[in-house]
Amino acid sequence: MLSEAARVELQALLPPTAFVGFKETLGADHPLLHPVDGEELLQRPPLPTSNGTKPEAEGTPQLMLRNDNIEPENPPASPNAMEIDPPLPPEPQPSNAQSVTLKTLSPTFFNDPHLLAALRTFQDHLYLGWFTEAHMERVRKFEEGIRDGKLAAPWKDEVWEREHGVPLPPREQEGAKEQAKAGQEENGAAANEVVDDGAANGLGANGTSVLAAAGSKGSFSIPCESTARAGGASEVKLSVLVKKGVIRVGDVIAYRRSFATSELVEKDCVVLSIDKKNFTLTVITIPGRMRNLPAELVMPSSLQSSGKPSSNKRPTSVKPPSQASSSQPTTGTTSLGTLTLTLTFLSPTQLETALLDTDAQVERSRRPNGNAWKCFSVWRWRVPGVPFGEEEQEGAGEAAYNPDDVRGGRENHGTLFYLRGSYYHER
């Protein structure tokens, strides 16, 4: 139970609707209480109380007289009005809890959706570690950088230039095209990404302004990921993300792609091992068109008890990343006899090709040359209070494991495209 002093403080923060005995009334400025043409007076309609019952009769109904459409200078304040801004000078507050009449909270207050939403939000902030000392220190540095003007977000300038770009004069359009092309080459854009007609309006092919494309280090923060360009982040290979711990053993890599012929292919695979020399990934999935993995593969102990290679065992290929290629898929079974397929790859495109081959819905001739980085998302167990990428590799999923979830309770941490861009701008 709360002390009386705590109840007084809580009572001052809650609205009148939270207490027993609240009766809803209309404010003095409500249209129903204003005179209507042809009527001399208007009766204030009785309203039900907070528990749904009609209020008892309290004598003569409240009336409002019409006087040539002239409203009173000081209309009576509603008894349920809340004091939003304190009066100046502030009124003296009671020195102790005994001088304040304590009210009784209504039981329906604890089922109010606004309260429940606030509690869930607060619990989410606790779970995500937003109140830890490390995160508060990051917030403090961020606020200091904003105040001092030392913290810059280049992508915001690029988005502003893209959405508010001023068209160039006709005589400068040709030079703008050459400048945008040079900026793309400097930012590591793909060779087949040519400048479109948007450069004539001062925009580069990646949607940013010509000045941003020529002078910045690349743009990743474009709102729509489906049309976003990697920019300078395209220099980051999958092996770099693996080496830096962005992808780890036990992560579920979920594939999802819709094709123009109405096929939707979804397939999950779990990271089985990582080669410590060339940082290739070995994943395990199930053949066929089934998306979800069996329970013995998504539980924390599946990588040790399934009879598959452990995380410290290297694949047979020892070629450098620039020369290594994906190995041939190998079949096997889990401890419960489920047929599995093991794949080793260096790039998302290689994994996508292997998964589409085993799915067998889309022929190779009908597969577009799209960006495979946007089709894969990484799912990992989250440790409460620990940011993504800083979890301990062993035992992280023991507490977060959920046997009722198809991915064992893992949470979505974003697509490979997003994780690559985040790493590129934070390194």
Ordered DSSP codes for 145-206: HHHHT----HHHHHHHHHHSPPPPPHHHHHHHHHHHHHHHHHTT--TT----GGGGGTB-TT
Contact predicate 208/219, CB 8 Å: yes
Q: Which residue has the tokens 């409460």?
A: 384
Residue 13: what pLDDT?
Answer: 86
DSSP 268: E
How many beta carbons lie within 10 A of that of residue 277, not counting itself? 14
Q: Which residue did the predictor score with more confidence, 52 or 414?
A: 414
Confidence band of 195 (pLDDT split at 50, 70, 90): very low
Q: So what's the pLDDT on residue 49?
A: 52
DSSP characters for 23-82?
B----TT-GGGS--TT-SEEE-----BTTSPPPPP-SSPPEEE-STTPPPSSPPPPTT--
Instruction: Read off the pLDDT of residues 229-276 as tens digits, 9 standing for 90 and up.
Output: 667 788 889 999 999 999 999 999 999 998 887 788 999 999 999 998
User: What is the predicted pLDDT for the residue at 101?
Assistant: 77
Check whether 285 has a pLDDT greater than 80.
yes
Indicate whether 191 pLDDT > 60.
no
Rounded average pLDDT over 418-423: 89
Q: What is the pLDDT of residue 196?
A: 40
At 145 the pLDDT is 85
Average pLDDT, the chain: 72
Compute the average pLDDT of residues 179-183. 62
Q: How confident is the model at residue 324 (pLDDT cuts 50, 70, 90)?
A: very low
Q: Region 93-109: what's the mean pLDDT?
A: 70
pLDDT at site 238: 92
Element (H, E) at 122: helix 113-127
167-178: pLDDT as tens digits: 666 666 666 666
Task: Judge whether residue 149 has pLDDT over 50.
Answer: yes
Rg value, the chain, Cα: 32
Look up residue 246 and give its two tokens: 């962005």
Answering whether pTM is above 0.85, one says no
The residues spanned by each domain of the chain are: 115-148, 154-235, 242-426
Mean pLDDT, to the nearest integer, of 342-359? Answer: 92
Q: How would you label 52-86 residue by residue, b for 16+ Cβ within 10 Å and e otherwise?
A: eeeeeeeeeeeebeeeeeeeeeeeeeeeeeeeeee
**What are residue 263's phi and psi, to 5 degrees?**
-80, 140
What confidence score (pLDDT) does residue 110 get? 86
